[in-house]
């Protein structure tokens, strides 16, 4: 049962957070295209992974060419491009893997 | 679900920058109750698509790669009646003939170890975020890889935890 609070008392203090700072990682040929392995970006909270890629793709047209062959990850798990992001999330764009 | 058996499984799962010592991995999985140890030794080939390879350079999304290797270990324990598994993948520059990945699986009876070892290397090559660049006399290319299975876009995205 939810606790009852005196009138006018906020049980949950919400700190306004309109933007999310996202850590972005690049590997393999993507790292070579972008020129570095790690970056960060501020987006509206809840923006999808796709928006992160669009940002970097706009600055690096060659990166955008690889979109169809990439898989995205959020916090070290494969993730749909529509996955919403929040502050502190770590996103990576993974070229086809070739370990072994 | 993490069972007590799982917690007691001291599998050896590594990303390494120095040479892999297969004997260490074999010794790790081999115990008195095992009747078989099956190993896979992935080594650097001296040619690729008809060109002479000079050396390879491997890089990984290390935290995620180790997580995916742990998942593979968990899967083969679930799927096959094996005892232990050891998986080591090397990163950085590798010369021709060196071991890039080594897998050792032990079990009471050989079919489980054969099947699990095959499943482990096939799954590793498809799902673990590791990339190799091939260096030739006249240039270098990122090796053709496999696209890991991605979550469907139609599925509702999970809220952040």
Q: Are B85 and B36 in contact (CB under 8 A)?
A: no
Span B9-18, pLDDT tens digits? 599 999 999 9
Q: Is residue B156 part of a domain?
A: no
Span A9-41, pLDDT tens digits? 555 655 556 899 999 999 999 999 999 999 999
**Residue span of the structural domain in which B84 resides:** 12-138
CATH number reported for the structural domain that contains residue B66 in this entry: 3.90.1170.40
**Contacts with B125 from chain A: Cβ below 8 Å:** 97-100
Q: Is residue B88 part of a domain?
A: yes
Q: What is the mean pLDDT of chain B?
A: 92
The residue among B117, B145, B148 with the most chain A CBs within 10 A of its CB, best to mutate, is B145
The Cα–Cα gap between A53 and B105 comes to 40
Beta strands (DSSP E) in chain B are 12-16, 36-43, 47-48, 51-60, 82-90, 92-95, 99-107, 130-136, 139-142
| Domains, chain A, ordered by start | 19-94 (3.10.20.30)
Q: Do A79 and B143 touch (CB under 8 A)?
A: no
Rounded to a whole number of angstroms, the distance from the CA of A74 to the nearest CA of chain B is 10
Residue ranges of chain B with per-residue pLDDT less than 70? 1-9, 154-161
**Contacts with B153 from chain A: Cβ below 8 Å:** 80-82
Span B103-128, pLDDT tens digits? 999 999 999 999 999 999 999 999 99
Total domain count for chain B? 1
pTM of the prediction? 0.87
């Amino acid at each position: 049962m939810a606790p009852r609070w005196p009138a006018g008392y906020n049980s949950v203090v919400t700190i306004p957070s309109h933007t999310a700072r996202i850590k972005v990682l690049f590997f393999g040929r993507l790292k070579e295209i972008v020129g570095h392995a790690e970056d960060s970006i501020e987006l509206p909270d809840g923006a999808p992974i796709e928006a992160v890629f669009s940002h970097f793709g706009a600055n690096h047209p060659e990166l955008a060419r690889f979109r169809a062959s990439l898989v995205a990850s959020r916090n070290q798990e494969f993730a749909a491009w529509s996955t919403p992001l929040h502050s502190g999330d770590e996103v990576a764009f993974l070229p086809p893997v070739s370990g072994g | 679900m993490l069972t007590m058996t799982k917690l007691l499984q001291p599998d050896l799962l590594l990303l390494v920058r120095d040479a892999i010592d297969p004997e260490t991995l074999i010794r790790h999985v081999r115990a008195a109750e095992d009747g078989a140890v099956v190993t896979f030794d992935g080594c650097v080939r001296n040619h690729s698509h008809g060109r002479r390879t000079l050396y390879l350079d491997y890089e990984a999304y290390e935290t995620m790669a180790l997580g995916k290797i742990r998942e593979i270990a968990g899967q083969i324990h679930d799927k096959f009646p094996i005892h232990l598994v050891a998986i080591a993948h090397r990163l950085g520059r590798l010369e021709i003939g060196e071991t890039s990945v080594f897998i050792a699986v032990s079990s009471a009876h050989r079919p489980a170890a054969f099947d699990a070892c095959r499943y482990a290397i096939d799954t590793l090559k498809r799902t673990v975020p590791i990339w190799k660049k091939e260096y030739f006399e006249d240039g270098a290319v990122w090796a053709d890889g496999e696209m890991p299975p991605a979550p469907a876009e139609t599925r509702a995205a999970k809220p952040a935890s």
